[in-house]
Structure 1
Amino acid sequence: MKPKILLVATSRWIPTARLAMVLVQTGFEVEAVTPRRHPLEKTGVVRRTRRYRGLIAPSSIKNAIDEARPDLIVPCDDTATQHLHRLYENEKGRGQGNNALCELIERSLGCPESFPVLYQRTSFMQLAKLDRIRIPDTRVVKNLANVSECIVDFGLPIVLKVDGTTGGEGVCVAENAHDAERAFRILDRPPLLTRAAKRAFVDQDTTLVWPAVLRRKSVVNAQAFISGHEATSVAACWKGEVLAALHFEVLKKRSSAGPATVLCLLENGEMAVAVSKVVRRLNLSGIHGFDFMLENGTGAAYLIEINPRTTQVAHLTLGPRRDIPAALFAVLSGNSVQPAPRLTEKNTFALFPHEWLRDCQSEFLRSAYHDVPWEVPALVSACLRAPRAQLGWRAYQRFLPLHLHTSSPRVIAVQGKPATAVSRSAAADAD
């Protein structure tokens, strides 16, 4: 009997569809709970798809789990992970901490004691520091006085980040004290009701409704700025052990706060060791992503955050110890790992459709491996027709930018890349 995976998605991210295709090719039976009109519906590989309903999210996900009875749950975005954490807490609160649902969530995500720290940036950094992982100094800031203290201690530029967000959302780099204070005021406040309503009725995304209604403020962190370029990892984990991992340097992004569009496969021992230490420390299971900064001049890898869910590259099958689906299939089936043939001998990857949308004349569309799902023409067509909201990367789309005025043209940057605006999505999402 095939092991069954339930994909849980609250956003219409195209990589979820790509992952489903590879999971089925690996030997899994796949079911899903997603919003309406998800790209995954174009693949034809999912046995059954159930509807995710944002206003009653925990109930809709729990019903899907009860009906599907999967061997493993894979959250496909940060909100999905938080819903699963909440389900676990709810069951524990009813005195049912040992029931089948709690056991399944633990098996899928890892030790429940680690759940809170995954979205607390400062606490996560402090844990990483215990394992001698290279990190930038990070501190919670509750008011403008705290921001000023961090500027004195960390210097300028300074990074401000909101808890509960990843992928560039709610992250800004201020080059002077005035910009840092203004950015803090924006990131610290709850989402506007009008914006939450627009997201709910136009985009059918109800993520912001409860934070807006409850006037839930965000937790803002200050972090020392690392001058360098971005790198990213994704790992398949099981009970605190890394089964397979991919490490990449980010070569191109669609926007400063958007997703990577071109990646280069890395052999980076410092990144690999850091990932293994975090996975062991938090006793993680499932698929997790990690973001790094590679320091200019030294190449030193600074761990800057964890993404407690699958990422946009988890479907890339690149041989032994680099095949995420094969590693999970082996541990769930009890068989030895049988990685798929390496997707390509190239080490540079142009991700579809993001690199094509960034620059349809990009040299990487020819020189790199262009990751287009040609075998599913309906998905290719849907990707090219999809509105930006369906591309699933809120950091560059759904919020009117706040333009910070200064004499310097490089007012705000995200992870060291110049930009002109700071996204309010982080303070709004607080996933």
Structure 2
Amino acid sequence: MSSSIHTGVSRRSFMRILGAASAAATSFPALAAVQQAAGAPAQGPGASRGFGGAAGMTRNLNRDTVIISSNENPLGPAQSALSAIGETAPLGGRYHQEETMKTVAVFNDLFGLKPGYVALTPGSGGPLDLALMSNIGPDKPLVYGDPSYEQGFRAAETMKAPKVPVPLNAAFAHDVKAMVKAHPSPGAYYIVNPNNPTGTITPREDILWLLANKPAGSVVIVDEAYHHFSEQDSVIDQVAADKDIIVLRTFSKIYGMAGLRAGVAVARPDLLAKFTTVAAPARSLASISITSSAAARASLQDKELVPLRRKINADVRAETLEFLEKHNYKVLPGSQANFFMIDVKRPGRDFQAAMIKENIAIGRSWPAMPNYVRVTVGTKQEMAKFQTAFVKCMDTAPGTVNGASLFMPEYHVPSELYRG
């Protein structure tokens, strides 16, 4: 085997990228700050020791609780992925780096990418931090939509980079023209598409406009974690065209692999190489497991998986929204993701507390929209239970349940903020 792996990055450099991605997930203050900001104590009754302490507290939820808070996929991995895991697991006694190379080659073929443009990683949270942190700093601000996924501004806080939030436009898409006007020389623009928490789409042509009109030296970072739930074309082709863009993908959402940890960072080799300037390689979790790599590859090759799951999600989402709108509840329009936002006409934190008492764990609210909560689309049965609990809680006078109780350890609610 050549010392140059299939991606075109040297094996040592590639492993450094993977290691740095894992290090970001475990060592950066930004990720620790997320837990504190969410109100989840680092230790407490039911908390696991060491890495992933906050996630360990989720086991204190009632086992009958419907968890529609963290944008996971209740369907789990596809059968094609499970079969690939079973076939690959017996090889687990050796490193088998060629497994990673084969998965990267499949991804390259799908998007017409040259070697060296893809890093396969254990999840997308670490690589997202690296993409952000390697391009921002005290003299390189971060421009991002508001509201949007919090990892952007938390990375800016860690890097002491000026934060430049720009309100979403009337369609709840990123206002790219306003983003360009917001600062003359930012280090990076961060776009989540579909956006989290609104589920809304920023049109591809708007992102292309941003790439064409942004200041020289800045980078556009596009988080496509929920891309497969929409009908919009990806912007990965702009990476193939050598533009100043980094695209993050995850297998946690439509592919149902949140617990298996697989993601990709797609960018020019020079932008991927910058990841290694942020943190030293991790000694553990330095690469994706061969079973996760095989599951990711099988999922990419499963031609029926994405359209089928997109339809399942769209159908359940439409049924749920139809129910809510029929009862005159105000839903934020335009979601093309596996979640939506709804106005509960009171602080979202209080409404979360009321719902958890009905054994329904829903998502959080955002400072820009404090009376809206985000709800993940679960199974049809789960959403039926959600509907019953939602009506009951909306019929309960605001303030009846103390929202602070939600964040006691025994009521810790899972969130994609812990995705790693």
TM-score bracket, normalised by the shorter chain, equals under 0.3
User: Which structure has more RCO (C-alpha within 8 Å, separation ≥ 6)?
Assistant: 2
TM-score by length of 2: 0.28
Give the strand-richer structure, 1 or 2. Answer: 1
TM-score by length of 1: 0.27
